[in-house]
Homo-oligomer: A and B are copies of this chain.
Amino acid sequence: MRDDLKKIIGADQEATSRFAKAMGHPIRLYILDLLANQSCCYSGDLTEVLPIAKSTLSQHLKELKDAGLIQGEIEAPKIRYCINRKNWERAQILFKKYLKI
């Protein structure tokens, strides 16, 4: 974030907008919803369902990881993706706060 904005935008707002941005693409929200409902999944499961190239999927998963919403553990040769519970809870709290839920 721009430096001059940090005087105005609080840490919670910055974190929330970051989470929101990660959720701001239909495919990423789809993946999050899948992981939030069932426990975990493999990238390959998603490739079969989603009409996108595997490299594109990989990018979306990376963004969700970078935003902290998911995590992946290697179960070679696959990778098992799950919700990052800690940050998920933080997102829940933050969205409650900003949406006045």
The A interface, classified by DSSP as helix, strand, loop or mixed, is helix
The verdict on A8 contacting chain B, using a C-beta distance below 8 Å, is yes
Structural contact, B8 and A98, CB atoms closer than 8 A: no
Contacts of A54-99 to chain B: CB distance below 8 A: 88, 91-92, 95-96, 98-99
List, in ascending order, chain B residues with CB within 8 A of A36's CB. 98-100
Q: CB-nearest residue of chain B relative to A21? A: B24
Quick check: B5 and A26 within 8 Å, CB to CB?
yes
**Chain A interface residue bracket vs B:** 35 or more
Q: Is there an interface contact between A24 and B24, defined as CB atoms closer than 8 Å?
A: yes
Q: Which of A10-56 contact B (CB under 8 A)?
A: 13-14, 16-18, 20-30, 32-33, 36, 49-51
